[in-house]
Structure 1
Amino acid sequence: MRALLVVNPRATATSEHSRDVLVRALSGTVDLTVRHTERRGHATTLARDAAESGVDVVVTLGGDGTVNEAVNGLLTASSAVSDRPGPLAGRLPALAVVPGGSTNVFARALGLPRDATDGTGVILDRLRDGRHRVIGLGRADDRWFTFTAGLGWDAATIRRVEQARRRGRTSTPALYLRAMSGQFLTGAGRKNPPLTLERPGETPDTGLSTVIVQNTAPWTYLGDRPVHLNPDASFDLGLDVTALRRLTIPRSARTVTELAWQAGDPRGKQVLRRHDVAEFTVVASRPQPFQLDGDYLGERQKVHFVSVPSALRVVC
């Protein structure tokens, strides 16, 4: 079995020692090639080249951003866009994820241990047994995502966190909570919410301040605490949507409290939920912050979302 290990050397929770342990362990099970990412987007190129060269499995050591890039590389390989019938998952290498970031939502949603060493052990066992799971993915225009996407407040929160990290701050739950609170209090209470959710054959949902899309549950984690917006979201179903309408400062404060202390599940007239949706479009009256799998990707005014079943084989 041929495998490519994609390592993000700047991932929050990795060290040279842990990387060496992983390489030695994998080398005893598969014919291993190791590549380190050198820039943003590099994991996409590495995974695409691996898929086109016939590799059997791509292993990532990094955070959710590294996973997202690798998935986009696999799903844009020539084998993925061929005219052969059948699910995408059958045409592509499997993906194995060793958690190495600060949150690792995707790996944890798959039931993998948070610790990289424990996660490596699980991956090795599954590779030896030939076990894998087929999951659905989300697509936002031409970009794939594994667990979440968003326009508005949550993407603006991620932008704040990324700015803080560039200033030398460490990614922690406290940093995210401060960024979340600050964005609610300064950005979420605008008088004219800019977002509209459009679904084929349905009346549009207008007047939305933020739209959060889930491909699985939980939405995210605050340390060890899962945060659930749509607890029924699943890799085996369509996409789930949580949208917030115009929020006053008192409502914003209540929503932040619910997210922080009740592990999510905000309620009230300002909350809109849609479950198991195959396709929809989010349109904004003005450019809005946009994120996929916890990476800030700039501003957008229109994004088309599609649920793609049986898109990827994962070792878990």
Structure 2
Amino acid sequence: MGLHAALAVHPASGHGAAARIADTVAARLRPCVDRLDVLVANTVEESRALMRTSHDAGLDVLIVLGGDGAAHQGVQFCADHDVALGLVPSGTGNDFARALGSPPDAPSAVTALVTALENGARRRIDLGRTGDTWFATVLCSGFDASVNARANRLRWPSGPHRYDVAILAELAAFRPSPLTLTADGTTLDLDATLVAIGNTPFYGGGVPICPAATPDDGLFDVTVIGAATRLQLLRLLPGLRSGGHVTHPAVRTLRARELTLTGPGWPAYADGESQGTAPFTVTCVPDALTVVA
């Protein structure tokens, strides 16, 4: 039996960029697969239903055309059904594609993906798990989760600068909060600003919050910013884009397989999607996903 692929198109990704290039991407993919289903969905429920239909017909590879939100939904399906995942980034952040080394522009990413499909290039990577949800990039809690929520509400500016605007807006209401963090059985009680649990380095459109994280070592890289003042946070911000923040005295880093966070009012976002509030437990699951790369 030949290679059966599906192209999941999320039309709203990248302010409509995915919809505009969907036909071109499909035309590039068809010659290197035996069957290509094009799945166009405007809701999560519709997308999952279409994926299940392709899976029932023998799906081998799900290719997601969209941003991190679309990739997050693809991760849920592929990890649960042992289907390989490919990415064509066309969103505003594209942090998962960036972590996998995908070219940043969609035409180059399609070319790289076609080559990988033709060569059978695949790799297994770890995923994070919280409750019944998988995540591929970073689960953030605290200040950065509030920034993520605000950035999702903004309609301007587009791209990574949304997060810069959201950071400045959230600083006005900012204050550290008490937190209990248990990492592989070791418990820390502290006042903290944020916790970022990284399976991969990036969130927020290319911010390397956990710069040393790799998705194939069976462990999370964790960045904790303690009880920083507004002025300290402002001084930290320039280093976030380079990863230099990890040397700041208010920052500590650690590595762990399982973490539990408990604290009043600590929101959580994973892959840019809301995961409710603490308490929650996060586990690194080795080799949970096959990616075409």
| TM-score after normalising by structure 2 | 0.90
Distance 1:288 1:74, change over 3 A: same
Deviations 1:206-235 (A, max 9, x none): 322211111012x2365xxx5333322101
Equivalence for 2:257: 278
Query: What are structure 1's unaligned runs of at least 5 residues?
Result: 78-91
Q: Is the 8 A contact 2:180 2:187 kept in 1?
A: no
Q: Is the 8 A contact 1:213 1:240 kept in 2?
A: yes
Q: Is the 8 A contact 1:43 1:73 kept in 2?
A: no
Aligned amino acid, residue 63 of structure 1: G
Q: 1:138 to 1:42 in 2, by over 3 A?
A: farther
Distance 1:230 1:29, change over 3 A: same
Helix, strand or coil for the counterpart of 2:216?
coil
Could you tell me how far 1:38 is from its partner in structure 2? 1.7
Which residues in structure 2 correspond to 1:1-316 (within 5 Å)? 1-12=3-14, 14-30=17-33, 31-77=35-81, 92-165=82-155, 169-187=156-174, 189-190=175-176, 193-217=177-201, 219-220=202-203, 226-237=206-217, 238-260=219-241, 262-275=242-255, 277-284=256-263, 286-295=264-273, 297=274, 299-316=276-293
Q: Structure 2: give runs of 5+ residues left out of the alignment.
A: none
Deviation digits for residues 141-200 of structure 1 (CA, Å, limit 9, x no counterpart): 2110001111111111111111113xxx2423322112112223422x24xx13221124
Partner SS for 1:5 = strand
SS in structure 2 at match of 1:299 = strand
Which amino acid is 1:278 matched to? R
Amino acid at match of 2:222: V
User: Secondary structure, in 3 states, of the residue corresponding to 1:232?
Assistant: coil
Q: Is the Cα–Cα contact under 8 Å of residues 128 and 284 in structure 2 kept in the other structure?
A: yes
1:173 maps to a residue whose letter is P
Percent identical across equivalent pairs? 30
Tell me how far apart the structure 2 counterparts of residues 41 and 63 of structure 1 sit (CA, whole Å).
17
Please give the TM-score of this superposition, normalised by the length of structure 1. 0.84
**Equivalent residues, number:** 288
Give the distance between the partners of 2:47 and 2:178, measured in 1 at CA. 34
What amino acid does structure 2 have at the position aligned with 1:244?
A: I
Q: How has the CA–CA distance of structure 1 residues 198 and 157 changed in structure 2, closer, same or farther, with 3 Å as cutoff?
A: same
Equivalent residue letter for 1:27: R
Amino acid at match of 2:78: L
User: In 2, Cα distance between the equivalents of 1:41 and 1:289?
Assistant: 24
